[in-house]
Amino acid sequence: MTPTPALIEVSGLTKRYRRETAVDRVSFAIARGEIFGLLGPDGAGKSTIIQILAGVLLPDDGRAVVAGLDVLHDPEGVKRRIGFMPQGLGLNLYDDLTVDEHLEFFAELREVAPDKFRAHRATLLEITRLAPAAHRLARHLSGGMRQKLGLVSALIHLPDILLLDEPTTGVDPLSRRDFWQIIDKLSRERGITVLLTTPYLDEAERCHRLALMHRGRVLAAGGPDELKSSVPGVSPKRVKMEDVFVALMASGEAARESMPAAAPPSEPRGSVTDRPAIRVENLTKRYGEVAAVDGVSLEVRSGEIFGFLGPNGAGKTTTIKILAGLLRPTTGQGWVGGYDILRQAATIKRTIGYMSQRFSLYPDLSVMENLGLSAGIYGLRGRRARDREAAVAAATGLGDWLRVLARDLPLGIRQRLALACALVHEPRILFLDEPTAGVDPLARRRFWGLITELSRRDGVTVLVSTHYMDEAEHCDRLAFLHMGRLVALGEPEALRRRAVADRGTVLEVSSSDFRKVVALLEPDFPNLTLSGRRIHVFSTDPAGDRWRIAQALAAAALGTAEVQAVPMSMDDVFATLIEGANAPLARAG
């Protein structure tokens, strides 16, 4: 068989920014029609590679060829052959243009003939389900709709190559599902070659091939099954891509970034109690006509890990800032540790620990100096300050980094420093705003281990926000937020039972050729979803649907597939409850 020629070739690609090497001698090739994934945390070099291949950034060394064109010598020629979607929610959009006006603008920019534009417009609006919003301004679109408009704008000239930089980061599970259905459809039916970056490791399994990256280097590359078979002692069927990444990092240089167990508290504290540590009633925050937080009411019990889950723009950060005394609500009331958020905000600031969404410490100070500054801000002096600085440094695994400037720390270590500074004064209530965003899977696991220690052994009340749905399993209770509103509230298993009652049992279909199976099952199961390469079908008649799936596979000569009932994933739980968000608030547990 003649090998498929590579449409994208990268060899020894290197990019430096002063002292930092963002991309370190990276090589890979992508065949026509492939979906190829670059996976890794923030700072891995993914975006830099995408920008080089898009012709908007020049490498320092190495070679990059796109559609037969050398990026270094003909970047403008490359730009004409590709569709490029940069990282960020709707970063390539204009708030004052409608959906239709965006398509017209990008069609003119790409010199698309009027008759082709009309045909392309109709097709793209149909597959993205944006047709009903064609006359809506971009500023009034949800995060998921903005991402789909960004994709349509990149596709208006129907390029052969599509470069997508973290297209699903921060959007809700429903939009992530839609986005992947569009990508699969374009690859399957139009033969478009897709290179995408993502921090979501479950998305990796949907790629034909992928490269796992960390700190500018490729740790491993190959097909999903090939990479999963490299994990020793475990059947590939039971291995997730996160397990592959963690195994690679744990055996390499990342082992230096290990985190020990939390240090013993100076005073033992109790476990979860029914006494509320945080209580809010009808909390609302408006910016003009936009309600960032819309009538939220809830209680957080003392000593529990309470999760705020939702996509970017859901209202998580705004709510946390109100509770931390940094913002005043428009209406509503609340209490944190018994203190009134309206009248005692200054006291709340002194008594809580707060880790903001963006790293907000001092980059020109060392780890030790940042800890000392935080201790002083909270009034710790002398021996007491030194003891606490040493304790939190040990608890968060910062011992080898004490003299390193904050700006030179890996992202996962920076996050630990931010946590250590938030803990130095031993707060009884801790607010963590997306503490694991962009960090590698190994750092995420260790970070959650520390959070659990703080809650279970030290009795600290932890309110943590995240858009990683798998992190929900670490929480005692959850609040699902969407577009400023509280969609559901309860324990993870109780929310799962509610979603199963609404949507049906999950039948997981495993097949070596999952793309063909998806195309086969979609007409009968239009709401199916993907969990990695496994197909999830929602059924109110599991026995009957198992038989129908087997019959369909046999009739299409696709062989047999393993079909089994599995617990509903938290992504699907969230998506199910979002779809029912117009109904009265679903309270569980």
Work out the pLDDT band at 282, boundaries 50, 70, 90.
Answer: very high
Q: What is the pLDDT of residue 265?
A: 40
* pLDDT confidence bin for 251, thresholds 50/70/90: low
The answer to whether the pTM exceeds 0.85 is no
Contact 502, 496 (CB under 8 A): no
Percentage, residues of the chain above pLDDT 70 = 93
Q: Is there a shared CATH topology between the 6-251 domain and the 276-490 domain? A: yes
Looking at domain 502-587, which CATH architecture does it have?
2-Layer Sandwich (3.30)
**Buried-exposed string 184-200: b where 16+ CB fall within 10 A, e elsewhere:** bebbeeeebbbbbbbbb
What phi, psi does 169 have (nearest 5°)? -65, 125
- Output the CATH code of domain 6-251: 3.40.50.300
Rounded to an integer, what distance in angstroms lies between the CA atom of residue 121 and that of residue 155? Answer: 10
> Is the pLDDT score of 357 beyond 80?
no
313 backbone φψ class: left, alpha, beta (φ>0; ψ -120 to 50)? left
Whether 252 shows a pLDDT value over 70: the answer reads: no
**Distance between CA atoms of residues 165 and 395, nearest Å:** 35
pLDDT at position 5: 72
- CATH number listed for the domain at residues 276-490: 3.40.50.300
| Domain residue extents for the chain | 6-251, 276-490, 502-587
**pLDDT tens for each residue of 12-43:** 999 998 778 889 999 999 999 899 999 888 77
Q: What is the pLDDT of residues 60-119, one digit of tens each?
A: 999 999 999 999 999 999 998 999 988 876 667 888 999 999 999 998 988 888 888 888
- Confidence class for position 588, pLDDT limits 50, 70, 90: very low
Residue 375 scores a pLDDT above 70 = yes
Q: Give me the mean pLDDT over the 154-178 stretch.
A: 83
pLDDT at 358: 67
- Distance (Å, rounded) from C-alpha 1 to C-alpha 16? 40
Per residue in 516-560, pLDDT tens?
Answer: 888 899 889 988 888 878 899 999 999 999 999 988 988 888 877
With 90 as the cut, is the pLDDT of residue 495 above it?
yes
- Whether residue 355 has pLDDT greater than 70: yes
